[in-house]
Amino acid sequence: MTIDIDQSLRQILADVLGLSAEQVAGFDGETGLFGHLPQLDSMSVAGLLTEMEDRLGFIIDDDEIDGEMLETYGALLAFARAKLG
Amino acid sequence: MIATWPCPASGGGEASEYAFVQDRARRFRVLVVPALFDEANRLRRLTVAAMRLLDRAGLDCFLPDLPGSNESLQVLEAQTLDDWRAAVAAAARHFRASHVLAVRGGVLACAGLGLPVLAYAPVGGASILRQMMRMRVLASREAGQEETTAGLLERGLAEGIELAGYRLSAAMVAGLQAAEPGPATVIAQGDIGGAGLWLRAEPGEDAAQAAALAARITAECGA
């Protein structure tokens, strides 16, 4: 199932940020997100988190949102996996 | 073209509101209820592109401003969800609509119209509020202030609140928090293909999505 979370998360990033399939397929654990992708600002972070909730089926509390989880693709994926843990 | 229509004003009386219309007095007349708040901006190009295609397919269509939104001179802070429902009902009567297309949260402003409603990617009011409150929590945090969605909702229900630049009355917050889409034929994003443009950080457009949406509406209307 871990493959599915990874694929879903890449698709969510593509959909919310308007990135190409090639670009999100090229993400690795170290790929920078917040502060690196110009499309990802604080407004779109809200949309990204809400879409993750809807598609992955969990609720993200206010105090779970921090800079670290959005720093890299690997950190965001680890967060999603931990939520579904 | 741009037309005006008489809209019931929240304090009584009437206000003149604008609508983008394509009216050739044809049989099928689709009232298009726009998405709410920021989603309206991100979906406006798709909405209007679909309307132009509907016009070519032989359907009249009408896109009114909800009071307090877009070009409206009414005060958003004075509006309730019931005011928006009354406005949509007035627009449906004025334009003699035969069908309604509600975009996203626009479906929440459609109640008791007695017309077939097509709902494109409908969403509940609580989800809309949650998204807007989250934007505010994140923006406040960047500014060094700690707010919570629970706290914002409580305050919004008590005294109204500004979310994502929109000043909402307490009654609007309460109305949205309780509002679920009513009976409608749902057009899901999966039927249209691609990702919903309301998700995008920046407003965009998509000719293929507009064509798929217009084709589905034309088919549902039986035109």
From the list A14, A39, A49, which residue is nearest B201 (CB)?
A39
**pLDDT tens profile B22-40:** 999 999 999 999 999 999 9
CA torsion through residues B10, B12, B18, B19, sign:
positive
Contact with chain A for residue B196, Cβ under 8 A: yes
**pLDDT tens profile B146-203:** 899 999 999 999 999 999 999 999 999 999 999 999 999 999 988 898 888 998 877 8
The A-side interface with B (CB below 8 A) comprises: 14-18, 39-47, 49-51, 62, 65
- Give the domains, in start order, of chain B with CATH numbers: 2-124+181-221 (3.40.50.1820), 125-178 (no CATH)
Cα(A64)–Cα(B116) distance, integer angstroms: 43
**pLDDT tens profile B116-145:** 999 999 999 999 999 999 999 988 988 899
Task: Please give the single-letter amino acid code of residue B47.
Answer: T
> Which CATH architecture does the domain made up of A2-84 adopt?
Orthogonal Bundle (1.10)
Cα(B178)–Cα(B86) distance, integer angstroms: 17
Q: Which of B223, B176, B209 is nearest to B81 (CA)?
A: B176
Q: Which of B121, B107, B96 is nearest to B194 (CA)?
A: B121
Contacts of B123 in chain A (CB under 8 A): none
**pLDDT tens profile B66-101:** 999 999 999 999 999 999 999 999 999 999 999 999
Q: Could you say which DSSP state residue B64 is in?
A: E
**Domain locations along chain A:** 2-84
Give the closest-approach CA distance of B188 to chain A in angstroms: 15
Contacts of A39 in chain B (CB under 8 A): 201-202
pLDDT score, position B98: 98
**pLDDT tens profile B36-71:** 999 999 999 999 999 999 999 999 999 999 999 999
Q: Number of residue pairs across A and B with CB atoms under 8 Å?
A: 49
Q: What's the Cα-to-Cα distance from B169 to each of A41, A60, B84, B161, rounded to whole Å? A: 27, 27, 13, 7
Residue of B nearest to A65 (CA): B138
From the list A15, A39, A65, which residue is nearest B138 (CB)?
A65
Pairing of strands B117-120, B185-187: parallel
Contacts of B200 in chain A (CB under 8 A): 16-18
From the list B127, B137, B164, which residue is nearest A62 (CB)?
B137
Is B135 in contact with A46 (Cβ distance < 8 A)? yes
Is A47 in contact with B196 (Cβ distance < 8 A)? no
Helices (H), A1-85: 2-17, 21-25, 42-56, 73-84
From the list B131, B135, B149, which residue is nearest A62 (CB)?
B149
pLDDT score, position A3: 56
Give the closest-approach CA distance of A25 to chain B in angstroms: 17
The arithmetic mean of pLDDT across residues A13-28, rounded, is 90
Contact with chain A for residue B45, Cβ under 8 A: no
Cα(B30)–Cα(B96) distance, integer angstroms: 9
Is B201 in contact with A41 (Cβ distance < 8 A)? yes
Helix, strand, or coil (residue B163): strand
